[in-house]
Structure 1
Amino acid sequence: MKFGVSTFVTDEGIGPAELGRALEERGFGSLYVAEHTHIPVKRESPWPGGADLPRWYYRTLDPFVTLTAAAAVTERLEVGTGIALVVQRDPILLAKEVASLDRVSNGRAVLGVGAGWNREEMRNHGTDPRTRMRLLSERVRAVRALWTEDEAEFHGEFVDFDPVFLYPKPVRDPHPPIMIGGSGPTTFDRVLEAGDGWMPIYGRDTGALGARIRELRERAGRRLPVAMFGVPAKAEVVAELDEAGVDQVLFNLRTLPEDGTLAELDRLAALI
């Protein structure tokens, strides 16, 4: 089993370079960061985590700037999005950003994707919440084509472009892993259609986890990787996830200033 952290990097917490260096020094294998481009003032979409939206949701740094800063001061740390809101991103620009991150990190990038929950946020990007799952799948497949084809083209319901050249290509062969977030009734369909693995959220997506992981791998006909997001720092939880077949634990790292973050990382490192 591999270990990393999932967190919100903001202007009020530890900096991305300092965080990346601290993670690698303590033996963590990965850093996954969240994304919200903005939070609309008038918000009706309920946050799945409770009544009040935490402060750090309002203040996230751009994930690819964050991950590039962390990659620049590390040598082994995997750098990923947890999750990138693909339904709010142009797929051609996204393909360029992730491929560039994979280049500057020498093949350490991971693209974790999801459709998101904040309908007002996605509407500001011109996305219809009712079709966001189909849009997600198309944009991910378009990104894959841009990474792997010299003259890539895509013709779908939402994404449509004639042959283009897009460089750089990623370092990792055939491309950075695409991890699909979520736990709805069609999530596994999206994993099998467009992804390379599954990234469920601890607490929301853990019911009958072992059976669900076996179902996914049976449908795929191979051992698709599973990375569990937002894991609490408890040894019994790690053992539970190991027994269920999870490949990577991403501990939930609170957004704190540098001293508080380093102390928290020391506690988490004891569980590796």
Structure 2
Amino acid sequence: MKFGVSTFLTDEGIGPTELGPALEQRGFDALFLAEHTHIPVDRQSPYPSGGELPRMYYRTLDPFVALAAVAAVTRDLLLGTGIALVVQRDPIITAKEFASLDLISGGRAVFGAGAGWNREEMRNHGTDPGSRGRLMDERIRAMIELWTKDEAEFHGEFVDFDPVFCWPKPVQRPHPPIYVGGGSERTFARVAEYGTAWMPSRVPPKELGERIDRMRQTAGDRPSVVVYAAPHYREALDIYAQLGVERVLFYLPTLPQNETLHHLDDLAQTASAYR
């Protein structure tokens, strides 16, 4: 298995230019950053993990800006969004931002995508939560057209543009990997259609095998499995290894620099038993 980290970078924790080299020094191969543009004060959507919404959710750095900073101070680290909230993003701008990240990093960008859970946040972007799945699919299809065609066009229910020039193109061909977040049957259909990997989150390790079997029934054997925000206890990692998980993204709490580095030391020691 390969090992990376998933985290929320904020203005109150370790900075991107400190975190990136620290990960490479400890043998991690990937960094995936969460995204929230903002959090409405009057929020009705329940926090998926239960309880109060942690402070880090409304202090996140923009993932593309932060990953560009990481790209400048690392050589091999994969740079991923975990997850980019596609339903809150203009697809043309996002396609350009992500292709630019892939270019300046030398082809290290990974597009982790999902539909999100915070309905009030979506509505502030003009998105109807009831149609967010269809909107996400269209925007990703449009982005693929922009990444792969010299004269790209798209005509759909939500996205519509006549032939356009849009550069840069990604370094990775035909386009960068797309990791699809979520756990529904529709998620598995997305993995089959355009996903390089399925990226489950908050799935108990003992239930993951059954979920992978369901995903394979829809998407086949091609997509890999990358566990997002994974625990680091040995029982969970043993299960991931037995299931053939390609990459484990340990959850890294948002902490000041010194505390983060100590935590990374512990995670690296745990991972060393599986390398």
Q: TM-score interval w.r.t. the shorter chain?
A: over 0.9
Tell me the alpha carbon deviations over residues 85-133 of structure 1, each in whole angstroms, 9 at most, x when there is no partner: 0000000001000100000100000000011110000000000000000
Whole-Å separation in 2 of the counterparts to 1:261 and 1:188: 34
Whole-Å separation in 1 of the counterparts to 2:217 and 2:187: 15
AA matched with 1:146 = L
The gaps in structure 2 that reach 5 residues or longer are none
Name the SS of the counterpart of 1:180 in structure 2.
strand
Size of the alignment, in residue pairs? 271
Tell me the alpha carbon deviations over residues 124-156 of structure 1, each in whole angstroms, 9 at most, x when there is no partner: 000000000000111111111110111111111
Name the SS of the counterpart of 1:122 in structure 2.
helix
Whole-Å separation in 2 of the counterparts to 1:146 and 1:250: 29
- How does 1:52-91 map onto structure 2 within 5 Å? 52-91=52-91
Runs of 4+ in 1 over 6 A off after TM superposition: none
2:246: which partner in 1?
247
Contact persistence 1:137–1:194 (CA under 8 A): no
AA matched with 1:231 = A
Question: 1:203 Cα deviation (Å)?
Answer: 3.3
1:34: which partner in 2?
34
With the length of structure 1 as denominator, give the TM-score of the two structures.
0.96
1:234: which partner in 2?
233
AA matched with 2:98 = V
CA RMSD of aligned residues (A): 1.2
Tell me the alpha carbon deviations over residues 206-238 of structure 1, each in whole angstroms, 9 at most, x when there is no partner: 563223323433433433111100111212211
AA matched with 1:67 = L
With the length of structure 2 as denominator, give the TM-score of the two structures.
0.95
Contact persistence 1:145–1:152 (CA under 8 A): yes
1:159: which partner in 2?
159
2:107: which partner in 1?
107
Structure 1 residue 174 corresponds to structure 2 residue 174? yes
- How does 1:113-152 map onto structure 2 within 5 Å? 113-152=113-152
Whole-Å separation in 2 of the counterparts to 1:207 and 1:33: 26
AA matched with 1:266 = D
Contact persistence 1:210–1:245 (CA under 8 A): no
Question: 1:246 Cα deviation (Å)?
Answer: 1.3
2:257: which partner in 1?
258
2:267: which partner in 1?
268
The gaps in structure 1 that reach 5 residues or longer are none
AA matched with 1:240 = I
Whole-Å separation in 2 of the counterparts to 1:41 and 1:97: 29
